[in-house]
Amino acid sequence: MWTEAVGVPDTATPGGQQPVEVSKEMTTTVTDLDDLRRRMTEWLGARVGAPVQVGELSRPTEGGMSSISLLFDATWAVDGVPTTHALVARMPPDATAFPVFPGYDLRGQYDVIAAVGAHSDVPLPPLYWLEESPDALGAPFIVMGRVDGRVPVDNPPYVFGGWFFDATADERLGLQEATLDVLARLHAIESPSVVFPALAERAGDDALRRHVDEQRAYYEWTRREDALRIPIIEETFAWLEQHWPADVGEPVLSWGDARIGNVIFDGFTPAAVLDWEMAAVAPREVDLAWYLYIHRFFQDLAEQFEQPGLPDVAHRSDVIAAYEKASGYTVRDFDWYVLYATLRYAIVMSQVTRRMIHFGEAQVPATPDDYVMFHPTMRAMIDGTYDWRKK
């Protein structure tokens, strides 16, 4: 889950010709990587039943706050031949860090990834092991294979520069359509209640209602200490209730954090789908609207500082058309789901703002709505004045 490039870009110059700097360093707890390397070596040796050499551990520079990833190479003998494996260990956030989310279900993620791999051709990183005990590294972790490729980065957002920004319009469109095709294939997994029983049990008989109720519970969790009420969030909840979709489609496996920044690409072809913390059973539009809105957030940020961004990416009509072509499904009530995606992101960002205040990286906002930097967008969506003509 991306949560880092959220600060107002202090070095931005509206009207400037160069991409602005919008990344923001976030305070994190420093972990002793040398000690983790020693402990990982012992743990891997016990797992493979042979001596193991573990190379230097590192953390990706553009990681978010919902998890910790450790990158490393490990060598052990396979059929008597020393073989090097490029690996990633994924861990929950440090227990001493200011939490952005209530919990982190590694077992749930592992089970979802394994089931997706068994029931679809969606590209995934290879799964190696799940360690649920904190004894080895101080926290549970998943070990996966590291997939070579490139990602449209979030920090700074890809709308300000990088390989995706520098690509041709046709290449960007091809990547978008390929990603939406992956989403359609993910949603095509049959009998999700059987394949993903834990998610289905959580969703109950009304997957959309349960999904929204969980977001409301998350909002209440964020305000458990300061009791702060954020009017734009609460007004959006009320609007969604008043305009509830009349015809909700059958629930499918929802990736939860569906966006190009969570895909590793080989050139412009998806090579691995990442980040399953927010997986659920939900209507298809939950993913599709999230895919659209996260790009809209980046693009609106670029336009705010009079930068071109990528206005040819994630047009509302293009996203719907590409998904409908790939899936054979007719998208319903899409504006409702886009506002819902905006609400979900607003709750996350309100907690990120609290986190920044906690670590002295931001001042207390002037008004409660300012805990959500894009609250004017939410207001425009509620009022029906958000301009979708070029979006």
With b meaning 16 or more CB within 10 Å and e meaning fewer, what string describes 314-344? bbbebbbebbeebbebebebbebbbbbbbbb
Encoded tokens for 387: 């301009």
With b meaning 16 or more CB within 10 Å and e meaning fewer, what string describes 83-98? eebebbbbbbbbeebb
**DSSP letter at 213?**
H
Tokens 């489609």 locate to 249
Got the DSSP string for 184-198?
HHHHT-S-HHHHSHH
Got the DSSP string for 248-277?
PPPPEEE-SS-SGGGEEEETTEEEEE---T
User: Is there a contact between 260 and 297 (Cβ–Cβ < 8 Å)?
Assistant: no
Question: Any idea which residues carry the catalytic annotation?
Answer: 257
